[in-house]
Structure 1
């Protein structure tokens, strides 16, 4: 069975965002490749201002979930567009875990759609865009399991 991982694109601040996510999830980086690390190709030269940008990075959230990301380089025809067409959903095991992640991820949040609170489907639920424009949901089902 395939495992689903989240891949996030940024317009130049991927490294900063992943340092933040490393602190939230208390996990080290699995490594970073930069655009300047690519073998030179005269057909696709790396713009000088993009050489130090992140081509790929990743962290492990747990044994089966990774968060990966890269910067988009407009010179290569890529641009990240923030929106709410995709969310990262954190399904927590305890109320304390939900509260802790919410407190950390909402620091400097761009928009809180639903603050962490009780819903008919969950003991705790929140949805928001973090300071990098990434849309998150935090969910703790608790005693509200579907019948």
Structure 2
């Protein structure tokens, strides 16, 4: 269980939740169910905390994410990937801009590294606040995820 930073919870509570109803993209291994969430952690969630469905609002963003993750592996996976188009609706999402993330302590200069401590704390806090989504810029580029 995550010990949440009270100041972070207060700051995130100040954002007005938004609804989202639209199309998102997700790139996966060909054999993976596109709607199967990750429980192993990642950029926005502590391993084992909350199952998270990582998507992008742009096809290029989803492809860039899978390329980044596969590029971290040795050897690089050779199995085919598939780009999925998903209709998604949320009732209570937080939309955070790059400037918001910087104020919340995300170090933009460490992009490309796997130092996810702060972004994981933000994601876990968003889940703790009973939000069903987080809309944020892709850390490695302009696409929103």
- The answer to which structure has the higher helix fraction is 2
Same fold per TM (> 0.5)?
Answer: no
Task: Give me the TM-score of the superposition, normalised by structure 2.
Answer: 0.22
Q: Give the number of the structure with larger relative contact order, counting CA–CA contacts within 8 Å between residues 6 or more apart.
A: 2
Task: Give me the TM-score of the superposition, normalised by structure 1.
Answer: 0.22
- The answer to which structure has the higher strand fraction is 1
Greater gyration radius? 1
